[in-house]
Amino acid sequence: MNEKFFTLLSEKKHGSEMNTMRSKRNRNRKRENKNWRENLREALPLRERGEKKE
């Protein structure tokens, strides 16, 4: 019984850590989306260059 209980606790802890990582990623995405026009200008030529290289 005790072993099962401890494994459940450790899994829960791991899950919460994963959620914090997700929230950090989402915050970064929101910050990036504010400058989406600038990102598009930078990303489009890079993509074209990559296709030409291939």
Say what the pTM is: 0.24
For 7-46, write each residue's pLDDT tens digit: 666 555 555 666 666 777 777 776 666 676 676 777 666 6
Which residues are within 8 A (CB) of 32 and not within 5 positions of it... i.e. 6 or more apart? 39
43/18 Cα distance (integer angstroms): 29
Which pLDDT score is estimated for 54?
Answer: 47
20/14 Cα distance (integer angstroms): 10
Residue 15: other Cβ atoms inside 10 A? 9
Which pLDDT score is estimated for 23?
Answer: 74
Higher-pLDDT residue of 30, 53:
30
